[in-house]
Amino acid sequence: NPVVSSPGNGGARWIDINLSTQSLTAYEGNTPVFNTLVSTGSTFPTPVGTYHIQYKVQSQRMTGPGYDLPNVPWVMYFTNRGHAIHGAYWHNNFGHPMSHGCVNMRPSEAQWLYNFTPNGATVVVHL
């Protein structure tokens, strides 16, 4: 599933996450410029709603009940409860819910999205 990107129209950059199809689309204005499969929350669902990128971290350790993951790449937090879009090097099951509520992406695609997306960008999560 290669990175699919096309020229945008110069509008605001934002992210659409479809929980039903386990897909993420990045937009510039109304123009989709990138689309890929992701893995969202399974046991702990990814929350539906409209959010904004609060802050970004190139790499960090993530821990929680049953996991301790060093060097999680290209992290972009969109809630104040720890939900983020980030690279996932520990599985290759994109298109299926796998996470503890975050949005998992292939690391190369997460890097592209991290560089494309400014702080404050809108993130829409829906069924």
**Which letter, b or e, does each residue of 75-110 get, where b requires 16 or more Cβ atoms within 10 Å of its Cβ?**
bbbbbeeebbbbbbeeeeebeebbbbbbbbbbeebb
Strand partners, 77: 55, 84
Question: What does the pLDDT look like over 42-84, one tens digit per residue?
Answer: 989 999 999 999 999 999 999 988 899 999 999 999 999 999 9
pLDDT of residue 1: 47
Confirm whether pTM is higher than 0.95: no
Torsion, CA 67, CA 91, CA 59, CA 51, rounded to 10: -90
Residue 94 has pLDDT above 70, yes or no: yes
For the chain, domains (ranges, CATH) are: 11-126 (2.40.440.10)
Q: How many angstroms from the chain centroid is the CA of residue 51?
A: 12
CA distance to 25, 28, 39, 110, 114, per residue, from 5 (Å)? 10, 11, 20, 13, 14
pLDDT above 70 coverage of the chain, percent: 93
Residue 111 has pLDDT above 80, yes or no: yes
pLDDT of residue 5: 57
pLDDT of residue 4: 53
111 φ, ψ (degrees, to nearest 5): -65, -45
| Bridging pattern class, strands 55-64 and 67-77 | antiparallel
Sheet strands side by side (includes 13-18): 4-5, 31-37, 23-28, 13-18, 122-126, 49-52
Question: What does the pLDDT look like over 5-50, one tens digit per residue?
Answer: 566 667 899 999 999 999 999 999 999 999 999 999 998 999 999 9
Is residue 114 helix, strand or coil?
helix
